[in-house]
């Protein structure tokens, strides 16, 4: 799989994810922040919501915020976590990768690979993905 280097837009998206987590960080409850770049150029953010047993990741919260605000397209997404005073980029889990395949298969996903922050197309991060057919309706 080919990964691409980051550009200025990607760094702005990472900063937005860090900002939402800095403002809302609570150990156990809100430990990951995400930012989504919509087709309009607006950035939408979200934090994970921890609940008894399971809570949604930050990525679907941010994606939901974008679509709830009228976005029709997701161009890019990133998630960060808190490690001491740092906010490193984290790779999306399998559930989030499937969500991105369903809603934004061509979106850039910023993630960590071998200690480097890179980006790749969402569909490329889930080989053999289940294709829902939502677009066929």
Q: Which residues of 37-49 are buried (b: 16+ CB within 10 A; e: fewer)?
A: bbeeeebbbbbbe
59 is catalytic: yes
From 22, 59, 75, 137, the catalytic residue: 59
CB-based contact 64:46 (threshold 8 Å): yes
CB-based contact 74:107 (threshold 8 Å): yes
Q: Which residues are the active-site residues?
A: 59
């Amino acid at each position: 799989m080919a990964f691409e280097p980051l550009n200025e837009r990607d760094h702005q998206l990472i900063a937005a994810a860090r900002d939402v987590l800095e403002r809302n960080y609570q150990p156990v409850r809100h430990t990951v922040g995400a930012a989504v770049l919509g087709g309009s150029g607006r950035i939408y953010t979200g934090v994970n919501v921890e609940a008894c047993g399971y809570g949604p990741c930050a990525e679907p919260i941010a994606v939901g915020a974008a679509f709830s605000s009228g976005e029709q397209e997701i161009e890019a997404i990133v998630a960060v976590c808190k490690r001491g005073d740092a906010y490193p980029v984290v790779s999306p889990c399998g559930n989030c990768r499937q969500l991105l395949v369903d809603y934004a298969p061509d979106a850039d996903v910023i993630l960590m690979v071998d200690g480097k922050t890179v980006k790749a197309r969402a569909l490329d991060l889930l080989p053999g993905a289940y294709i829902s057919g939502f677009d066929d309706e």
